[in-house]
Amino acid sequence: MNVRGTLPDGLRLSDPAILLATWFGTGLLPKAPGSWGSLAALPFAWGIHLALGWPGLAAAVVAVFITGVWCSGVFIKAGGPDPAAVVIDEVAGQWLVLLVVPTDWFLYGAGFVFFRFADIVKPWPVSWADRRIKGGFGVMFDDVLAALYAGGALYALSWWTESW
C-alpha cells in the first residue's frame, strides 16, 4: 500500500505528530480508519492496564488526549478539518471506555463495539461537539463524549455478566 498518497502534501509519516495522529499508520488503511484505530488501541490498553492498573490507563488517556490535541492540530493545518486518517482520537476514546472494566477479552471486544457504535451514530451531545468544536481539541473531544456513552453501556454489561 502506498500510504504517501493518502497524506496531504507536505506531511510525512516520519513526522512524530503525523505518526501519532494516524496511530502508527493505522489511520492510513483504506477502509474504516476509525475502526482500525480503535482496534489498534486495544492491545496497548491491555498492556498498560496489566502493567499499571486502571490508574496507569487513566494517565495514558490523559496523555494521549493532550498529545492528540497537538498532533491533530498539526494534521488539520495541512489537511482540513477532522481528516479521517487522524485516529488518535479513537485511541483516547477507546481507552477511556476500557477504564470501567478489568482486562477481559469479552469485555474489551464489547467495549470496542460499543465505542464504534457511539462514535459512528454520534448521539447528542457527541453530534453537537462534532459540528461545533473545531481544531485539535474538537477532534479529540467528540470521541471522549462518545466514550462516555460506550463506557456506560460497557459498565452495565460488565455488571450484568457478573450476575450470570
Give the domain extent around 33.
Answer: 16-159
Q: What angle do CA 141, 33, 76 make, to 5 degrees?
A: 50
DSSP, residue by residue, 30-91: SS-HHHHHHHHHHHHHHHHHHHHHHHHHHHHHHHHHHHHHHHHHHHHHHH-SS-TT--HHHH
Q: Is residue 142 pLDDT above 50, yes or no?
A: yes
In this prediction the pTM is 0.92
- Is 41 part of a structural domain of the chain? yes
- Is 5 part of a structural domain of the chain? no
* 46 or 163: which leads in pLDDT: 46
- Is 102 part of a structural domain of the chain? yes
- Is 62 part of a structural domain of the chain? yes
Number of domains in the chain: 1
Q: What's the pLDDT at 82?
A: 60
Residue 96 contacts residue 147 (beta carbons within 8 Å): yes
Q: What's the pLDDT at 105?
A: 96
The per-residue pLDDT for range 76-102, each reduced to its tens digit, is 988 766 689 999 999 999 999 999 999
- Is 7 part of a structural domain of the chain? no
Q: CA distances (Å), 27 to each of 41, 60, 134, 136, 162, in order?
A: 12, 20, 20, 16, 35
Q: Is residue 9 pLDDT above 80, yes or no?
A: no
- Is 3 part of a structural domain of the chain? no
Q: Is residue 44 pLDDT above 90, yes or no?
A: yes
Q: What's the pLDDT at 8?
A: 76
The per-residue pLDDT for range 96-115, each reduced to its tens digit, is 999 999 999 999 999 999 99
- Is 4 part of a structural domain of the chain? no
- Is 164 part of a structural domain of the chain? no
Locate 3 and state its grid cell: 500510504
